[in-house]
Amino acid sequence: MLPLKLLGRDWRGGELALIATALVLAVSCVTAIAHFSDRLTRAMHIQSQSFLAAERVVQSSKVVPQEWLRKADELGLEQAQTTAFASMLSAGDEFQFASVKAVTDRYPLIGHLEVRANASDEPRPVQQGPAPGEVWLEARLLPLMNLQIGDRLALGDGDFAITRILDHEPDRGANLFSMGARLMMHQSDLAATNILQPGSRVTYRYLFSGDDAALNSYFNWLKPQLTEHQRVIDLKDGQPQVARTLDRAESFLFLAASLAVLLASVAVGLAARRYGLRHANYVAVMKSLGAGKNKILGIYIGQMSALALIATALGLAIGSLIQSQAVNLLEGFFPVAPPPSGIQPLWVGLATGVACVIGFAMPPLFRLAQTDPMQTLRQDWSNPDKREWLGLIPGPLSMLLLIWWLSGSLAITLALLAGLGLLIAGAAVVNRLLVRGRLASLGGSWRIALGSLQRRAGFNTLLIAAFGTGLLAMLAMFYARTALIDEWQMQLPENAPNHFLVNIAPYELDGVKQKVEGKNLEGTEFYPMVRGRLIAVNGTPVNEREQKDSSIRRELNLSWTDTVPADNKIVAGEWWSENQNDGVSVEVEVAARLGVNLGDVLRFSIGGLETEATITSLRTLDWNSMRPNFFMLFAPGSLDTFPATYIQSFYLPPEDKLFVNELVKNFPSVSIIELDKILENIRETIGQVAIAVESVLALMLVAGVLVLVAGVRASIAERLQEAAVIRTLGGRRQLLIRSLMIEFGLLGVAAGLLASIGTEATLAVLTQRVFDMPFQFHPGLWVIGPLAGALLVGTAGTLACRSAVSQPPLKVLRELA
């Protein structure tokens, strides 16, 4: 009971409040971020899974065996089906080609549809498709066919009532190149249309959702039975771009939680060290009164355990409260409301509490138990201990283990280790420089400030490392967030082309050009295109392995141009010179897959005729540019003898959507691929992810500032005492404030500089290993780091000491005694 009694007394005395506050802050911060990340990750998953309208999908060109569906039922999986095909609609004298999708009652399993009952209404979400006998049409179909809501149209032998305008369907991107506007109907009406006959081109999609175990068990059973007509699609296959965005965002959130753990531990470490130092005389007195080392350890470990228990419980509660408030506050910004989090964040918070206590709070206590009782007689509390560094090992070690567990990423752990290693080594170097600095020639406030830094050189190493860690966390998060968001914005620039025109016949080219240019649309140039198959490399037929590569096996779109297309980059060889009319430029990854290089000769079969071309250059492409991209680009004139059509992409603002109808009416043979809805969905998801990233960054900045304040508080008492003595001796208040600003400012500059080094190292590993992005040097970081350090640490330190400097020195000395 003695530890608890002393705990109560110590608490009253205010000594434990510091460490308890740090611990509560640590646990609550980490718990809040872990909760927040968990909920945002779940929301992102829901949002992204809505791209499939399910968790997993089986896509087939034939109806799958009934047994497959029964098995899914047995495993308790939710199911829905869609059947997609292109067909002609008719209403009176109007005929229009449409992309038809028949859906079952449970469609969509994830996400929602958005519909309007009238053109003037706002779209509203619904969880189910049309009822039997009804169809929903994409808005532009109505004016195109002179129809209104309530009218009827014919599809095959079926006759349907138009009841809604369909504005949004979650898996619109399932078939990127579906042509024509959408008509959605009930699956049970399909038979009555008599459209689907053997040999019809149909895409059947079987949608499944359920718990992970059931899904895994089902697909493990199913996969061996799949034929070449079927494939399983998850997010990664269905929307690789979204999946990659999600992966990166998750890594970012793990990084945030890891950095929060790091910051929290630094705050606890600083508070515990201060507690240990201030308790050295307690222990010396207790030892002189007959308390042995074991007794002291028992008392302090008992105290700390009780404190840790209470502080951790409190931290968990506060952390959970903060995140729920934060989510409530931000609710309006999330397209998908973040669902409740699981129990994992509480474990993370608890583990942080335990690791902080074992790694950071306990080692000073063990050291405390070694206190020499002779110190009561010597009046010297400096307690120099050459093995102090040993006590610094458990903390970082336990944190790295915790971060590894938390992030599940060795790369994130190593990135932080690299950053921190550089930071601590740098702090030791700065410390040496400080000790060696000469002060004699310096003026008043500089001399006081630098003298103070020199006297506490040892502690300053720790302090610089602590400030540096706080700044590193903030800078790393800021730059990682900037890199991610920039990358995402680059993936989908604001006015990225969202419509493709294909199959433009040469005789239509001028007319289409005129129409598009007349509308002042931002578009790419019109590329000629012939379809051809690669049949031989250097005279050797393309072998089976290469045939399996779907990008090469199928017919390729071959084009020619005299200028390097925008977003293409020549990485080997040379672009053709003027008047050159042979040669082919190959996309670099395809070249690698084919094992071909500059000078190799490729033979193509085009409409039964063959042609050869020598590879004169290799190119990289930007697949995110939403422009027509070609694996093979020929020199102008080399494909002149083959019949070509043209392709172009342009950006069509939503308000000009009916322009598509004009094109359809004027150029009925031109196919229009509408990607606007898909891009909108992707943009919305990336927006959600970006908000998650920004919100977590804001939380991290708050945590970083808290660590800086904890650092300042840990070092303030001695400085105050010195300031009071200097004032007693006649030093002016302004002189002291200036010297404090210089002292903390210099600490901040050193910490900021080291944080810049650490951040650059961390980002180098993170971007390449975790975010899968190229290395980038950040010159701005080297300015922002020291500046932010000087500003934040200098301000926090000066503000913390300012009131004490203003008080009568006698009062300060009495309070500190």
**Which residues here bind other proteins, judged by CB under 8 A?**
2, 5, 9-10, 12-15, 281-282, 284-295, 372-374, 376-379, 814, 817
d(CA 626, CA 431): 54
The per-type count for the chain, helices as H runs and strands as E runs, is 28, 23
Residue 101 or residue 274: which is nearer to other proteins going by CB? 274
**Closest approach of other proteins to the CB of residue 11, in Å:** 8
Residue 343 CA to its chain's centroid (Å)? 22
d(CA 54, CA 111): 8
Residue 286 or residue 618: which is nearer to other proteins going by CB? 286
d(CA 41, CA 250): 7
**Closest approach of other proteins to the CB of residue 387, in Å:** 16
- What's the DSSP call for residue 175? G
**Closest approach of other proteins to the CB of residue 14, in Å:** 7
Residue 134 or residue 372: which is nearer to other proteins going by CB? 372
Strands 645-651 and 499-504: antiparallel
**Closest approach of other proteins to the CB of residue 720, in Å:** 16
Per DSSP, the residues of 97-122 read EEEEEEE-TT--SSS-EEEESSTTSP
Residue 320 or residue 376: which is nearer to other proteins going by CB? 376
Residue 12 or residue 62: which is nearer to other proteins going by CB? 12
450 close to 442: Cβ distance less than 8 angstroms: yes
**Closest approach of other proteins to the CB of residue 2, in Å:** 6
**Closest approach of other proteins to the CB of residue 290, in Å:** 2
The H-or-E segment that residue 527 falls in is strand 527-537
Comparing C-alpha atoms, which of 341, 165, 369, 167 is closest to residue 280? 369
- For residue 795, what are the contacts with CB-CB under 8 A and spacing of at least 6? none
77 close to 212: Cβ distance less than 8 angstroms: no
Residue 293 or residue 569: which is nearer to other proteins going by CB? 293
The CA-CA-CA angle for residues 296, 301, 306, to 5°, reads 130
DSSP-H helix ranges across 231-333: 235-238, 240-278, 280-288, 293-330
**Closest approach of other proteins to the CB of residue 721, in Å:** 15
**Closest approach of other proteins to the CB of residue 289, in Å:** 4
DSSP-H helix ranges across 331-409: 344-356, 362-369, 375-378, 388-391, 394-407
Residue 569 or residue 814: which is nearer to other proteins going by CB? 814
- For residue 669, what are the contacts with CB-CB under 8 A and spacing of at least 6? 503, 505, 508
Residue 107 or residue 282: which is nearer to other proteins going by CB? 282
**Closest approach of other proteins to the CB of residue 307, in Å:** 14
Residue 286 or residue 496: which is nearer to other proteins going by CB? 286
Residue 2 or residue 698: which is nearer to other proteins going by CB? 2
Residue 295 or residue 519: which is nearer to other proteins going by CB? 295
DSSP-H helix ranges across 632-775: 659-666, 676-714, 716-728, 733-765
- HEC states along 578-627? CCCCCCEEEEHHHHHHHCCCCCCEEEEEECCEEEEEEEEEEEECCHHHCC
Strands 645-651 and 522-523: antiparallel
- The values of phi and psi at residue 277, to 5°, are -65, -45
d(CA 720, CA 308): 30
- The values of phi and psi at residue 285, to 5°, are -65, -45
**Closest approach of other proteins to the CB of residue 810, in Å:** 14
**Closest approach of other proteins to the CB of residue 297, in Å:** 11
**Closest approach of other proteins to the CB of residue 234, in Å:** 60
Q: Which amino acid is at 792?
A: L
Residue 128 or residue 281: which is nearer to other proteins going by CB? 281
